[in-house]
Structure 1
């Protein structure tokens, strides 16, 4: 029999985050003043209040528009005031109701509520729905274990269909909107069907949780708790399609892409790859590849730039502080700074410092970076044979990564560092490509503003980089690559420069490394000069630094063992610390000799002197060459012999000397390879001396390429050769006429101690070098 609808005027009690179904008995904590007043008014009348749920739980003082229209009429059974000032109320839900009018009486709201009681009669359809609902609730109870067996029995015993539906709804994990939907469903049959559908969904969720737990449990058997939690999260997200849990990571990468300052085309590519990465599951092999690629794109500097310190005086102070000599390099750097200061837009020059080991090429590049206040990055190219080392690998390969150029830019962190390409001539090529050809684009000022790395695949601007390459031997650098660089030669140091370097740089450095102070160990200038002369034979200063380190070690041992407190190393004491002298100062001969000429050579480790010896013996004109000579030097010897034969009469020689004598040309130090075209003059002089029995002046050193007609052609490495002659104690140098312009590169202190003779014909060289010939 259907109950009648009744309209009554009752106090309103707003509920925040809570909903009460009819027939439910529930404790409610009330703390708001208006709610307390409404309860007190209800107790004064018939203990009836209307419970309406707030739409937004954050509203502190709800008005009528903040409340649900449909709620529950409830009976206040008990009130208890708690110590914290709130009131705990025990209420029992009676019937569904809908308020129509809303009034404020004093300090609480009153509403007119129309009740909607459930029908007590039921039909066969409702019986079937009730049975299904109870069956589904039983399955849910057993599967979820969130509802006790006693609760299930209580629910199963309910005979009224409306009350059954409300009781089941109160025990389901529904959100507030779902519970409100059940409360607003007045039709009991629809209410039952709705709850059957909700229970069916809960069954699927519980089954899904079981599958996830089983999968996670299986994975946990071989790992620790942390891995278990990670796998559980992964499994849940895979089932829910939650983008593999990468939401936070994607957001972070998106911010980094926006902040990287990339060109628009590159940013578009990065965002496209990010979108692909977002859609791929974490287990996909390509996911890690794309992630690594995006990481490189956002890490490389695209716009980060350091401000150049365009202070020429400061730059000059830094360069002079760190290096003695090397005036041409310093001048070039200062010129670059001056132009930068004037134009503000000059592209970075590409310098190539060529010189023997130990002359300070790398440290000079560091000083240039410091003087400009730029970041410094260095890569070594020695032994690089793979083109991908420069251009990077294609991303299709496993373990692909960018080339050394892009790696260096990442390390620098700015788009305008000083970038040192160390030992550029030591790159070689094989079946994996030619890295020197790949370097052409890097070092071409017209192309490097759009450098393309195989891994990055986006153009990268290198035009702001100040590239500095170093090399020991310019001839080993391919022509096209050499053409793109501004070559600055660093020949080596004079004795005076080495002494100053040892005094100002090397000695203080070694003292610091060995824990010594300037008071504990001092070197006299004579001692340093002695070390330079008698214990080193090099163009640079690495050997000199090793000798100073050796002395520092010995002095440190003496101080630690309490043998002494302080040491002053003089010229006399150098031999005590370093042993017998290793080299003889002045490698020139002690007297004039027949058939022994002093040639000047240029090697990758600086200049050197060669003693070229010629010996005659009875025979049939056989020419024998020894001393590990290269093909070019052998040809020079044959050319010199042909020249001497053609000038035999004018030189006062027997025209047929080659028919009765064997000629043996030897260059000592046979284990050291020797090659080059500049020994022609020295060989010819030694030949003529041996054949004419005229001694060669011991103080004369000579260099120059000779032709069959006797012309002397220009050579390279004049500065290096002159320094080696100075070290060997020679005083007169014979040079080709065309090399007269190179004299300016020689330090003035060396030029003052040498006499230069410039010749264009071999006859002139013979007049100068041979003793007893009228000049």
Structure 2
């Protein structure tokens, strides 16, 4: 047993307490309600007013037995007792000293125990280690009081007057907010020095916890204060607005925006951005210019169809019938749309393809896009890109600019109110670029299935998914479309219509449409097929049928005028004999092939934006110094083809009895009539070479023959484009034989069978074969 305390035996009543730990020198009151505890109190009052108080291990136990409470407790003196209603006694006690149970020899009608009371000697006051520890505890406890604000600062004054180590330690322990188990641990440390060290350790831990609590408390208070401040300011703003006569319109508008945002399933970053914009608007005066900008932005944002789609009508048979009903021919386009529908039927996740319909004007590129939308049961939207030269037209303007608006794409999607329409970019080959940017480059993201799921408009500044959109673009020529943009599209070539196709289109589609538009019936106006054919050949010259439709409309208007002038008129017949009365003199004539062979004159074939055409190449030779004259508005490529043909003729001049010095002694003039029309391209190379050779050798060329192909210096014939259009033009001009490059054999599949039957095709790979077929040799030659 240590020298700094001793024990003495005491026999007094025992009371177990629930949830309370009592230290020596501590004055406390509590309520006693258990019968055993009341009887123990009464017994104590009959003796020396002493009672042993210890803590129950489990406060939930109502009737404790030996072993349910701790062995170490405090001997207390009962100072006051007060009976309360309900057989409860409120008792005031003062702790005297700690003690340990030696033996509980009585359990009924109350607990009574023999105890070992701990008594301390005064020698501890002189111990320097204990004195230093007391000072540390005092300083730390003072910090605990200041940080926690859980203990009154007056206790510090009381502690300053206590110099007995045990009493000092117990007073500090009694004023620390601890759990009963922790207090019991301190109570069971009998040695004052060890107890002071334990209290010091607990104080340091509690101060650390209190510091964390304080930080959390400050943070939470700041948050609460911010919310309260915002609420207060909003209420003030509402009051000001009411005074200004603006009522709660703004508040209702803000609530409406927030409600709309909560209903949309958007990515987290988009939701956060729009929430910030709404918050900014709520803090602004409704009359401010910035408030108007934000309101316009939010209106545009919520007008977009973020989650709205139309359901595809995945019926292939119905789609085929709709496409056939609206358009005659165009088999490749129809086939591609049916393929898309078939894949969509199997796979719901397929991205929308990007189709580029390329062909001359008036063949139905734009109208077929509408039919595709109808066959898919989708909304249709059209944006014309002809002449667009500002990149902001596509991507929109930054909101920092006055009058900024979204780009055409987002605007169109907003108007159509669905995120999966059929979207037509008309005339994509007519875009231009200048100092305001390159719109074709801006289109790269739009027309890339891998990128357009996150298309970001400069005005909206949030990504919008365009991957469900079926993009269709139209162009007259691929040559002006930038290569990277062309690479993103699936090109479908649409060639011009044949005369027979135009006749059927006019009879089935155009004539009924114009009759209806002009208020006439089929019984009143009758036009024969021969008359329609005459209109096609002499009054319209085009690959498509746009002018053909206008001309039919003109006939209908003339007939309507007759009906108004003569109300008794019941029938108007239009035929070849009276066609000029309706349309005037024929506007076009087709150059017909001459049967007789001619020297220095060859029929060539050309492709134009409005279809195919025939070219008569004429060669004139005269004495001179070897000058080559080229007229008829020829482009650089065509001029180079003529020079290449000249060089080839020089290499074979001996075979055709041509003077080997002709390039020094003769001037050669190459002329292509219709000089007002620019002409270019390499496809007239073989034609010019044949014509020059014919003029120099004086060998005539067949008049019922036409040719096309590019020539090389060694006399090779290379393939060219536009074969279908060129063949149709040759057929129209009465040509019987067509010379084509060998590699263009694959293009013959596109030519209608009824045209093929009328023509003879000669496929060649070199100029020798061309000359063999074209030149008309007699015995003298």
TM range (shorter): 0.5 to 0.7
Corresponding residue for residue 607 of structure 2: 602
Aligned with 2:579: secondary structure? helix
Pair 1:271-2:281 in alignment: no
Pair 1:722-2:702 in alignment: no
Distance 1:559 1:597 in 2: 50
Corresponding residue for residue 667 of structure 2: 662
Q: For each residue in 1:279-324, what CA deviation from the matched residue of structure 2 results, as whole angstroms up to 9, or x when unmatched?
A: 1112222111111111111111112111111111111111111111
Contact 2:618–2:691 under 8 Å retained in 1: yes
- Judged with a 3 Å threshold, the aligned counterparts in structure 2 of structure 1 residues 344 and 748 are, in CA distance, closer, same or farther, namely farther
Instruction: Give the one of 733, 744, 747 matched to 2:752.
Output: 747
Residue correspondence of structure 1 range 465-504 to structure 2 within 5 A? 465-504=469-508
Range that drifts further, 749-758 or 379-388: 749-758
Distance 1:507 1:269 in 2: 56
Distance 2:302 2:704 in 1: 65
Contact 1:243–1:281 under 8 Å retained in 2: no
User: What TM-score do you get using the length of structure 1 for normalisation?
Assistant: 0.68
Instruction: Give the one of 564, 568, 575 matched to 1:570.
Output: 575
Contact 2:361–2:544 under 8 Å retained in 1: yes
1:236 CA drift (Å):
4.9
Contact 2:238–2:247 under 8 Å retained in 1: no
Instruction: Give the one of 733, 742, 748 matched to 1:737.
Output: 742
Distance 1:587 1:697 in 2: 13
Residue correspondence of structure 1 range 77-92 to structure 2 within 5 A? none
Contact 2:357–2:365 under 8 Å retained in 1: yes
1:243 CA drift (Å):
9.2
Aligned with 1:649: secondary structure? helix
- Judged with a 3 Å threshold, the aligned counterparts in structure 2 of structure 1 residues 296 and 644 are, in CA distance, closer, same or farther, namely same
Contact 1:681–1:702 under 8 Å retained in 2: yes
Distance 2:559 2:320 in 1: 36
Range that drifts further, 742-751 or 588-597: 588-597
- Judged with a 3 Å threshold, the aligned counterparts in structure 2 of structure 1 residues 556 and 433 are, in CA distance, closer, same or farther, namely same
- Judged with a 3 Å threshold, the aligned counterparts in structure 2 of structure 1 residues 647 and 508 are, in CA distance, closer, same or farther, namely same
Corresponding residue for residue 262 of structure 2: 258
Corresponding residue for residue 387 of structure 1: 391
Aligned with 1:420: secondary structure? strand
Residue correspondence of structure 1 range 138-157 to structure 2 within 5 A? none
Distance 2:501 2:643 in 1: 40
Distance 1:243 1:456 in 2: 30
Aligned with 1:344: secondary structure? coil
- Judged with a 3 Å threshold, the aligned counterparts in structure 2 of structure 1 residues 729 and 411 are, in CA distance, closer, same or farther, namely farther
Corresponding residue for residue 424 of structure 1: 428
- Judged with a 3 Å threshold, the aligned counterparts in structure 2 of structure 1 residues 571 and 393 are, in CA distance, closer, same or farther, namely same
Corresponding residue for residue 762 of structure 1: 767
**Root mean square deviation of aligned Cα:** 2.1
Distance 2:247 2:604 in 1: 77
Kindly tell me the number of residue pairs found equivalent between the two proteins.
Answer: 543
1:242 CA drift (Å):
8.3
1:385 CA drift (Å):
0.5
- Judged with a 3 Å threshold, the aligned counterparts in structure 2 of structure 1 residues 235 and 553 are, in CA distance, closer, same or farther, namely farther
Aligned with 2:617: secondary structure? strand
Contact 2:591–2:614 under 8 Å retained in 1: no
Pair 1:675-2:680 in alignment: yes
Instruction: Give the one of 435, 439, 454 matched to 1:435.
Output: 439
Pair 1:367-2:371 in alignment: yes
Distance 1:517 1:591 in 2: 48
Distance 1:417 1:503 in 2: 32
Contact 1:767–1:773 under 8 Å retained in 2: no
1:585 CA drift (Å):
4.6
Range that drifts further, 634-643 or 379-388: 634-643
Instruction: Give the one of 352, 359, 366 matched to 1:355.
Output: 359
Residue correspondence of structure 1 range 513-592 to structure 2 within 5 A? 513-562=517-566, 564-585=569-590, 587-589=592-594, 591-592=596-597
Q: For each residue in 1:389-408, what CA deviation from the matched residue of structure 2 results, as whole angstroms up to 9, or x when unmatched?
A: 11111111111111111111
Distance 2:492 2:343 in 1: 19
* Residue ranges of structure 2 left out of the alignment (5+ in a row): 1-236
Residue correspondence of structure 1 range 618-657 to structure 2 within 5 A? 618-657=623-662
Range that drifts further, 634-643 or 649-658: 649-658
1:254 CA drift (Å):
2.3
1:260 CA drift (Å):
4.5
* Residue ranges of structure 1 left out of the alignment (5+ in a row): 1-232
Contact 1:243–1:279 under 8 Å retained in 2: no
Pair 1:316-2:325 in alignment: no
Instruction: Give the one of 774, 777, 780 matched to 1:772.
Output: 777
Pair 1:330-2:334 in alignment: yes
Distance 2:541 2:748 in 1: 23
Corresponding residue for residue 205 of structure 1: none
1:580 CA drift (Å):
2.7
Distance 1:294 1:632 in 2: 55
Distance 1:588 1:460 in 2: 59
Corresponding residue for residue 288 of structure 2: 284
Contact 1:234–1:245 under 8 Å retained in 2: no
Contact 1:601–1:609 under 8 Å retained in 2: yes
Contact 1:612–1:665 under 8 Å retained in 2: yes
Range that drifts further, 751-760 or 261-270: 261-270
- Judged with a 3 Å threshold, the aligned counterparts in structure 2 of structure 1 residues 263 and 520 are, in CA distance, closer, same or farther, namely farther
Aligned with 1:556: secondary structure? helix
Contact 1:355–1:492 under 8 Å retained in 2: yes
- Judged with a 3 Å threshold, the aligned counterparts in structure 2 of structure 1 residues 651 and 442 are, in CA distance, closer, same or farther, namely farther
- Judged with a 3 Å threshold, the aligned counterparts in structure 2 of structure 1 residues 244 and 400 are, in CA distance, closer, same or farther, namely farther
Contact 1:243–1:278 under 8 Å retained in 2: no
Residue correspondence of structure 1 range 685-700 to structure 2 within 5 A? 685-700=690-705
Distance 1:726 1:371 in 2: 36
Contact 1:244–1:282 under 8 Å retained in 2: no
Contact 1:678–1:704 under 8 Å retained in 2: yes
Corresponding residue for residue 709 of structure 1: 714
Contact 2:541–2:610 under 8 Å retained in 1: no
Q: For each residue in 1:539-597, what CA deviation from the matched residue of structure 2 results, as whole angstroms up to 9, or x when unmatched?
A: 11111112111111110000011162221222333233222333335533353222121
Distance 2:595 2:410 in 1: 57
Distance 1:525 1:261 in 2: 60
Aligned with 2:383: secondary structure? strand
Distance 1:424 1:773 in 2: 54
Contact 1:450–1:459 under 8 Å retained in 2: yes
Contact 2:624–2:666 under 8 Å retained in 1: yes
- Judged with a 3 Å threshold, the aligned counterparts in structure 2 of structure 1 residues 587 and 250 are, in CA distance, closer, same or farther, namely farther
Aligned with 2:655: secondary structure? coil
Contact 2:595–2:702 under 8 Å retained in 1: no
Distance 2:733 2:278 in 1: 67
- Judged with a 3 Å threshold, the aligned counterparts in structure 2 of structure 1 residues 342 and 627 are, in CA distance, closer, same or farther, namely same
Distance 1:634 1:597 in 2: 17
1:750 CA drift (Å):
2.0
